[in-house]
Amino acid sequence: MTIIEDAVPATRHTDDERTPLLEVRDLHVEFHTREGVAKAVNGVNYTVRAGETLAVLGESGSGKSVTAQAIMGILDMPPARIPKGEILFRGQDMLKMSGEERRKLRGARIAMIFQDALSSLNPVLTVGYQLGEMFRVHLGMSRKEAKAKAIELMDRVKIPAAAARVNDYPHQFSGGMRQRIMIAMALALEPDLIIADEPTTALDVTVQAQVMDLLAELQREFNMGLILITHDLGVVADVADKIAVMYAGRIVEQAPVHELYKRPAHPYTRGLLDSIPRLDQKGQELYAIKGLPPNLLRIPTGCAFNPRCPKAQDICREQVPDLMPVTERDGGELPGRASACHFWKETIHG
Amino acid sequence: MSEQIIERPVPADGPTAKAPEPDGKPERVASLWRDGWRDLRKRPMFLISGFVILCLLVLAIAPGLFTARSPFSDGFCDLQHSMDGPTSGHLFGYDVQGCDIYTRTVWGTRNSIIVGVVSTILTTALGGVIGMLAGLWGGWADSVISRVSEIFYALPILIGGLLIMSMVGSSNVWTVSFVLSILGWPQVYRIMRGEVIGNKYNDYVAAARALGASPMRIAFRHILPNTLAPIVVVSTMNLGVYIAAEASLSYLGIGVQSPAISWGLMISDAQDRWLTSPHALLFPAGALSLTVLAFIMLGDVVRDAFDPKLR
């Protein structure tokens, strides 16, 4: 069986100031299950520009991965459904494209790095074959050319003795090396946007740092947009430009990375930051946000965080807070900051 | 069939032998298939059954190498010798028609092997393709196909065989193979469908999709190779099962018909007189048992080699 796939558009776009690389507008995703409709994403907005890193932070079930899968177009539909929203890639709504058009974007212009490299690599195919597949699918290269390219890629992500290991199988590599191979696969065609879904969660701490550094380095080199999905605040701090914090399918706070750490404007963000273990707290009990993440089948009315929020008032149980710009106490602008809390003023300044 | 697909990922131009491991790990030759093969070669059961099967294949392809006589030539049978015991030059003795049992047993190998191989290929192809489609499609298509397969699955192979063979009318090795395939495919189908469903939600399938692989490529290059190990094992065992089933059908008089030679038919002819002349029953029955045993043994040892959980 030979599949001849169309080549990717040869021209590499330069970033247009007015149209960002990726713009997600009011995205909703729901899953139809036997128990009812699970609202996984409830109106997410964010933008990513070329060369920019957006970190999306949130607990399990906050909708961060579902948003990413919706952008990639790899949600299983059904059961998933996108009732509302737009995903603009260079100004074009991907949700209106045909399946074939989207498939050609995937891997070539937008690529994804998965959490667990061992399960994301096919156990019965050599890494060389899987890396080469990118070139064969999208550029129609021959097996031999693709293999040469695969070795080049493995070199680029600093896998020692690439030429000798190109015919090895995934289980023969260590966890860090496997994640490098995943990165190499995502980078193969020099995409404009990379979505990394918890790329370092399955790795130990020292390897985490190496992999993140590599990712950041390659991102700079290619001037790519990067969406970094994580629940690990430590990973984010060094590499991200801005952060979006998600809770129950909504963005509850958005801010440039260092400002968020200094002055959170949402009680949930504050709770997350307070629950990071610190050396000077040795011997003390670790802070934890009380309660459990909401059940997506029955999201609380009003602000979804209200049952767990120390600041919750009656208004929080009744009215959903919009994501509003956050300002200084004197009304001075704080560019790029927004919070979806009725009491953001008290939270940030209080 | 399987070997070809399995070996695909290894580029033809590259050496398949491993280069020295840079990080000094103990050398481990890659992949389920190569591991399995290494493991197999060391097992005496594999060598024994493999040798027997090889001999049977040679017998089936070129029976003339092992016997100077042809069972279809004039004067092959001589009623004067009816039911005579083994003598020199006629080691297995004569049957009721005075035909040489040794020659007939040797020539009978071909039909058994044909039925076994053809039925196995057909069931594997049919069950594999339908199972793959049902597994990939899911939903109502899967439900319909599964219910249909269960109808066939519910029919025991002999009773179903009796039924269909009596409807088909003409019986030869090809119709027998066909009937066994009609009744046998649901077994392979079930395994294939299960494997496809088990594999299609794996992360590497999502990853392949995220990298722009087409549905065809995902099905054939990513899912299929992961489903082959259990299919190969079941098919190997089925070879023996189908050979035994053909003998049973022929024994019951609805399989291969005389003058064609079948071990089942020979057993059936010999059974009335087995107390007085056991040799007429013993030799074809022995050949049948040995053949079935060899394939079941091979299937068993292949399963042990390929099932990672048994390591």
% of chain A beyond a pLDDT of 70: 95
* A340 in reach of chain B (CB within 8 A): no
Q: What homologous superfamily is domain B33-63+99-310 in, according to CATH? A: MetI-like (1.10.3720.10)
Domain boundaries, chain B: 33-63+99-310
Of A74, A161, A167, the CB nearest to B14: A167
Q: Which residues of A touch B129 (CB under 8 A)?
A: none
For A108-144, letters b (16+ CB in 10 Å) and e give: bbbbbbbbbbbbbbbebbbbbbbbbbbbbbbbebebe
pLDDT of B21: 38
Element (H, E) at A316: helix A314-318
Other Cβ atoms closer than 10 A to A307: 15
Bond before A78 cis per omega within 30 degrees: yes
Comparing B145 with B35, which gets the higher pLDDT?
B145
pLDDT of A154: 87
* A131 in reach of chain B (CB within 8 A): no
* A142 in reach of chain B (CB within 8 A): no
State how beta strands A92-93 and A80-89 pair.
antiparallel
Other Cβ atoms closer than 10 A to B304: 17
pLDDT of B10: 38
pLDDT of B31: 58
Comparing B90 with B149, which gets the higher pLDDT?
B149
What is the spatial distance between Cα A87 and Cα A72, in angstroms, rounded to a whole number? 10
Identify whether the C-beta of residue B235 lies closer than 8 Å to the C-beta of residue B119: no
Whether pLDDT at B6 is above 50: no
Of A169, A171, A185, the CB nearest to B211: A185
Which of A72, A101, A122, A171 best probes binding to B when mutated, by most B CB atoms within 10 angstroms? A122
pLDDT of B23: 42
- Which range has the worst mean pLDDT, A168-177, A215-224, B78-87? B78-87
Angle A34-A37-A42 (CA atoms, 0-180°, nearest 5)? 155
Report residue A149's pLDDT band, with 50, 70 and 90 as the boundaries: confident
* B212 in reach of chain A (CB within 8 A): yes
State how beta strands A250-256 and A242-247 pair.
antiparallel
β-sheet bridge partners, residue A33 = A36
pLDDT of B32: 63
Comparing B75 with A75, which gets the higher pLDDT?
A75
Of B203, B209, B210, the CB nearest to A116: B203
Question: Across the interface, do A3 and B28 touch by the CB < 8 Å criterion?
Answer: no
Most distant CA pair in chain A, distance: 68
Angle between helices B224-251 and B279-306 (to 10 degrees): 170
Whether pLDDT at A42 is above 50: yes
Whether pLDDT at A2 is above 50: no
Choosing among 3.40.50.300, 3.40.640.10, 3.40.50.2020, 3.10.20.30, the CATH entry for A22-240 is 3.40.50.300
Half-sphere exposure of A89 (CA within 13 A, CB side): 22
Q: How many CB pairs under 8 A join A and B?
A: 115
Q: Which residues of A touch B31 (CB under 8 A)?
A: 124, 169
Which of A66, A114, A124, A137 best probes binding to B when mutated, by most B CB atoms within 10 angstroms? A124
Residue A3's region, left for phi above 0, alpha for psi from -120 to 50, else beta, is: beta
Identify whether the C-beta of residue B235 lies closer than 8 Å to the C-beta of residue B124: yes
Residue A88 sits at φ, ψ, to 5 deg, of -95, 120
Q: How far is B295 from chain A (nearest CA, A)?
A: 27
Residue A126's region, left for phi above 0, alpha for psi from -120 to 50, else beta, is: beta
The residue count for chain B: 311
Domain boundaries, chain A: 22-240, 246-278+286-349
Angle A196-A201-A205 (CA atoms, 0-180°, nearest 5)? 120
